[in-house]
């Protein structure tokens, strides 16, 4: 990493990250269509012109949000892979990623955006699909290896099971917002994991 950046350049980078952080919070709590640049500008005490300097339009901001979120999620998956634990424990840790998001009364960023998918710019739709492709591929590999090792059990092929699991977790998050809260999500997630993991 280059630490020779000027203070102005560093400040510009800080502002960019603050914008992304606030936009992420807004999407996760009220949806992409539920906020505007005016909301971000007010929260950060900056002008809308400053926002447009860093992100020319809201669609560009949304694309960067999804890509950053995807990179963070991918890093979390890599951490699970490097843990050296069994398939069942890895599956539980995967579920914990979703649960952790709920700690701040937020939803999965891409889950929230998926609910608004048909209204989103095409550039964002492609990025959302990429995020779910990443999750599908990782889970499919985990499920295949887990079943081959006799640790996991599920019907149909691994890719179908992976998609069903992702959909169930995203749905459980949304329902928990209106009914049950974090405890409701935990109960639903526990049932999903117990169904797939063999008793040991």
What are the percentages of helix, strand and coil residues in the chain, rounded to 5? 80, 0, 20
Give pLDDT, residue 49: 95
Q: How does pLDDT run across 12-58, given as a tens digit for each residue?
A: 569 999 999 999 999 999 999 999 999 999 999 999 999 999 999 99
Q: How many residues can be counted in the chain?
A: 200
Indicate whether 160 pLDDT > 60.
yes
Q: Is residue 147 part of a domain?
A: yes
Q: Is residue 135 part of a domain?
A: yes
Residue 186 to residue 173: CA distance in whole angstroms = 9
> If you average pLDDT over residues 76-99, what whole number do you get?
94
Q: Is residue 127 part of a domain?
A: yes
Indicate whether 11 pLDDT > 70.
no
Domain that holds residue 173: 59-196
Residue 151 to residue 181: CA distance in whole angstroms = 30
Distinct helix (H) and strand (E) counts, the chain: 9, 0
Q: Is residue 185 part of a domain?
A: yes
Phi-psi region of 47 (alpha: psi -120 to 50; beta: other; left: phi over 0): beta
Give pLDDT, residue 12: 55
- Specify the CATH number for the domain of residue 87: 1.10.357.10
**Number of domains the chain contains:** 1
């Amino acid at each position: 990493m280059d630490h020779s950046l000027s203070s102005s350049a560093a400040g510009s980078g800080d502002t960019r990250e603050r914008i992304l952080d606030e936009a992420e919070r807004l999407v996760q709590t009220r949806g992409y269509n539920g906020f505007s640049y005016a909301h971000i500008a007010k929260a950060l005490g900056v002008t809308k012109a400053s926002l447009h300097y860093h992100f020319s339009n809201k669609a560009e901001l949304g694309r960067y949000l999804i890509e950053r979120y995807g990179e963070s999620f991918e890093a979390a998956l890599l951490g699970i892979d490097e843990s050296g634990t069994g398939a069942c424990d890895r599956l539980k840790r995967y579920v914990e990623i979703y649960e952790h998001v709920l700690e701040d009364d937020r939803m999965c960023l891409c889950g929230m955006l998926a609910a608004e998918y048909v209204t989103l710019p095409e550039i964002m739709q492609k990025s959302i699909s990429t995020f779910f492709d990443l999750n599908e591929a990782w889970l499919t590999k985990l499920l295949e290896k887990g079943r081959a090792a006799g640790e996991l059990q599920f019907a149909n092929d691994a890719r179908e099971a992976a998609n069903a699991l992702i959909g169930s977790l995203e749905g459980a998050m949304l329902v928990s917002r209106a009914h049950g809260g974090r405890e409701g999500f935990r109960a639903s997630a526990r049932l999903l994991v117990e169904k797939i993991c063999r008793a040991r």
